[in-house]
Chains A and B, each alone.
Chain A
Amino acid sequence: MTGTVEIRNVVKRFGKVEAVRDVSFSLPEGETVALVGHNGAGKTTLMKLMLGLIRPTGGSIKVLGDDPAAGQFEARRRLGYLPENVSFNTALTGHETLAFYARLKREPGKSVAPLLERVGLTHAASRRVGTYSKGMRQRLGLAQALLGEPRVLLLDEPTTGLDPALRQSFYEIVEELRGRGATVLLSSHALTEIEERAGRVLIMNRGIKVADGTLDELRRIARLPTRIRLKVTDAGLTNVPNWLGPVEGWRRVNGHMVEIDASPERKIEVLRRATDEGAPVEDLDVVPPTLDELYAHFLLSQETAR
């Protein structure tokens, strides 16, 4: 395994609180990974561990070949971090702030203006950061994380405080970096938002990694039913079992709709019947389990296993 980030059996305790319990994973290049979990699940703690801001109680961490806990910091030049609730010194202007961080990463001063442009802060570049709105500070936070073409991007709840248009452009920027081979770790609890963006999902609950895989893999493991929604003619509504066959778990919704929760192995069969010659079906929708449902499923199965 040669991922850009390697986490091995990591444990982190804060006094009595076990914030991270025996977590292992590896993050490869060119992948966007979503780190999801309730508040207090250990997402921020994991990112701080990767940055060497805190030391693990047990286990080992490697980021771009460095051990962050040993105080090695050269690899951080190729690393971008956007903390949850990012804050800046209020006395300096946006441009001065970004120029300071650019110097620390040995980036030329001329890289600052284009970056401000990219996050839409050019008009406010010479204003004090103290006068910025929450969204503007978040954008400045993103700009500093993008300094120096990072190979690893750690973004802790990055889109809180951004309006929808900005979210869109934010994800475009992230996707562009990923396309050029960066590893992007994105923590969030806005699951619907992450659903289309992340190739892989890591679900955390109370410090334990409860699931790890692509959405398709997680769907296979969870074996959650696919929701099939049929728009049925008046005639068809009266004798559903006749044409649909013996399917458990169907119900009528909104008058003309029939909704079926089909288990993975029954899915095709149901679809065949619904699209059969003579079936009284005018339209159909297939809704695979959402990340929300998967998340709920994995949390529940872990809680009951305890």
Chain B
Amino acid sequence: MRNILIVARKEIQEGLRNRWVLATTLLLAGLALSLTFLGSAPTGTVGVRALDVVIVSLSSLTIFLVPLIALLISHDAIVGEMERGTMLLLLSYPVGRWQVLLGKFIGHLSILAFATLLGYGAAAGALAATGAEIDAESWIAFASMIGSSILLGAAFIAVGYLVSALVRERGTAGGIAVGIWLVFVLIYDMALLGMLVVDQGRTLSGGFLNALLLLNPADAYRLFNLTGTAGVSAFSGMAGVAQTATLGPYPLLAALAAWTLVPLGLAALAFSRREL
């Protein structure tokens, strides 16, 4: 356990030093603040449900940005250190490879969690400061939005590690990471939509649709946040989907957790077999 924390601490130290933490936090805070204030102007709802609108816009932002940031910091974690030669020295120390991987994971996730918490928290804080009335239900939805955003980040960090543990060159890892982002964030949904349009509800069952939505962590995240509470789903235009896709919040969270644990386990396995 101590080794894991030592590695995590170094990862955070490096993140602070090379401005990853700063850049990510500023990016998320900047976008969150602009979405909060630009987004609430046209709807004119600076009333009771103001935070719900923010949740809808921020979770859409998260789906694009968090997987991208997560893959950016994770795809290089193993193959990059191998190429630079720093992994050789690290693994000659009394530390297990799985400890190195887990330490890096905790470090990277902490950086991402810190940026998300601070960036999105700033948006909610600013909204509350303008005097908008926000009820307890909205606060809970907002907190679970932040929590699930971090979980989404964890899933993509784990996927990035798996790529990083499998490929031989950094460039390959970068290319695959971009590909994964495109597939999960853009192409998957388009393909799904196209399939539903073609099918016209004739053969595809709701159960099949559910399975497809769970197979993409970004979709699991979207459903969790946009249909999670009645207040939010009213604004998200997802009320319809929420009724057809009969997934409660727990299967969705479980899907995100599985998307974290399975790739992480596979990455540890691949890493432990690697020679350097």
Establish whether residues B92 and A92, one from each chain, have CB atoms under 8 Å apart when the complex forms: no
A3 within 8 A of B: no
Name B84's closest neighbour in chain A (CB-CB): A87
Determine which of A51, A105, A141, A144 lies in contact with B91 in the assembled complex, contact meaning CB atoms within 8 Å.
A51
A190 within 8 A of B: no
Q: Which residues of B contact A74 (CB under 8 A)?
A: 94
Q: Are A89 and B275 in contact (CB under 8 A)?
A: no
Provide the bound-state CA to CA distance between A235 and B209, in Å. Answer: 109
B241, CB-defined interface residue at 8 Å: no
A71 to B91, CA, bound (A): 11
Q: Is B14 an interface residue (CB 8 A)?
A: yes
Size bracket, chain A contacts: 20 to 34
Residues of A within 8 A of B14 (CB): 89, 91-92
Contact present for B6 and A54 (CB under 8 Å)? no
**Which one of B3, B6, B88, B95 lies within 8 Å of A83 (CB-CB)?**
B88
List the B side residues contacting A91 at CB < 8 Å: 14, 17-18
Q: Are the CB atoms of A76 and B92 closer together than 8 Å?
A: yes
How many residue-residue contacts, CB under 8 A, span A and B?
Answer: 65
Contact B276 A73 (CB under 8 A): no
Does B34 have its Cβ within 8 Å of any Cβ on chain A?
no
B85 touching A71 by the CB < 8 A rule? no
Q: A74-B94, A79-B92 are in contact. Are A104 and B86 (CB under 8 A)?
A: no
The reply to whether A104 and B96 contact each other, CB–CB distance below 8 Å, is no
Is B6 a contact partner of A103 (Cβ separation < 8 A)?
A: yes
Tell me the bound Cα distance from A89 to B94 in angstroms: 19
Contact of A77 among B6, B86, B94, B275 (CB under 8 A): B94
Residues on B with C-beta less than 8 A from A171 are none
* Residues B94 and A104 in contact, CB atoms below 8 Å apart: yes
A295 contacts the other chain (Cβ, under 8 Å)?
Answer: no
**In the complex, chain A residues whose CB is within 8 Å of the CB of B272:** 71
Residue of B nearest to A87 (CB): B85
How far apart are B78's CB and chain A's nearest CB, in angstroms?
Answer: 14
- Whether B168 sits at the interface, judged by CB under 8 Å, is no
Cα distance A141–B6 in the bound complex, in angstroms: 19
Known: A53-B276, A54-B275, A87-B84. A81 touches B17 (CB 8 A): no
A71 and B96 within 8 A (CB):
yes
Does A55 count as interface, using CB distance less than 8 angstroms? yes
Any B CB within 8 A of the CB of A243 = no
The interface on chain B, measured as residues whose beta carbon lies within 8 A of the other chain's beta carbons, has a size of: 22
A88 to B97, CA, bound (A): 18
> Considering the chains assembled together, what is the distance between the CA atoms of A4 and B131 in angstroms?
72
Q: Is the CB of B17 within 8 A of A92?
A: yes
Contacts of B93 in A (CB 8 A): 73, 76, 101, 104-105
Which residue of A51, A54, A81, A88 contacts B86 across the interface (Cβ within 8 Å)? A88
Which parts of B73-96 form the interface with A (CB within 8 Å)? 84-86, 88-89, 91-96
Chain A hits for B276, CB < 8 A: 48, 53-54
Q: Decide if A100 is an interface residue (CB 8 Å cutoff).
A: yes
Contact among B10, B17, B85 for A100, CB-based, below 8 A:
B10
Say yes or no for B244: interface residue by CB 8 A criterion.
no
Q: In the assembly, what is the distance between CA of A236 and CA of B92, in Å?
A: 63
Chain B proximity mask over A255-289: 1 for CB below 8 Å, otherwise 0: 00000000000000000000000000000000000
Q: Determine whether the beta carbon of B275 is less than 8 Å from that of A53.
A: yes
In contact, B86 and A53 (Cβ under 8 angstroms): no
Q: Is B246 in the interface zone, CB < 8 Å from A?
A: no
B94–A53 contact, CB under 8 A? no
Supposing A51-B92, A53-B92, A92-B14 touch, asked if A83 and B85 sit within 8 A by C-beta, the answer is yes
CB of B205 to closest CB in A, whole Å: 47
Residues of B within 8 A of A101 (CB): 93
Contact between B13 and A73, CB atoms less than 8 A apart:
no
CB<8 Å pairs between A and B, sample of 7: A53-B92, A71-B97, A73-B93, A81-B92, A87-B84, A92-B17, A104-B3
Given A53-B88, A104-B3, A104-B95; 20 other pairs, CB 8 A cutoff: A48-B276, A51-B92, A53-B91, A53-B92, A54-B275, A54-B276, A71-B96, A73-B93, A75-B94, A76-B92, A81-B92, A86-B89, A87-B86, A88-B89, A91-B17, A92-B10, A92-B14, A101-B93, A105-B94, A144-B89
User: Which 6 interchain pairs have the tightest Cβ spacing?
Assistant: A87-B85, A81-B92, A76-B94, A91-B17, A54-B275, A104-B93
Q: Which residues of A contact B (CB under 8 A)?
A: 48, 51-55, 71, 73-77, 79, 81, 83, 85-89, 91-92, 96, 100-101, 103-105, 141, 144
